[in-house]
Amino acid sequence: MSDPNPYVILRSVGSAPLPAAWQEHGPRQQAVSAEQAIRKAVAATETPDGATLVAVPARSWKPMTVTVETTTRVKIG
């Protein structure tokens, strides 16, 4: 069996007709698979019935800050 890895657990929030947003659901879980991480998260936290969860390996969880720059260019001719 593989060594456990940390997983970030996310839960879908919001309701139709708006698109779903995601928020972290409890602490990171040490698990050997995403399915096991979700099972552990459900056992460790209050999870609403019918919740939609996803487990992302913590090594892949790399939030990035985006800066948008707009420039104006005038071209004559």
**pLDDT at 15 > cutoff 80:** no
Torsion angles phi and psi, residue 59, rounded to 5: -65, -20
Mean pLDDT score of the chain: 91
Region for residue 16 given its phi and psi (left: phi exceeds 0; alpha: psi -120 to 50; beta: otherwise) = beta
pLDDT number for residue 39: 96
| Cα 43 to Cα 29: distance, rounded to the nearest angstrom | 11
pLDDT of 19-53, one tens digit each?
789 999 999 999 999 999 999 999 998 888 888 99
Q: Closest Cα partner for 9 from 57, 71, 50, 51?
A: 57
Which of 15, 11, 14, 64 has its CA nearest to residue 37? 11
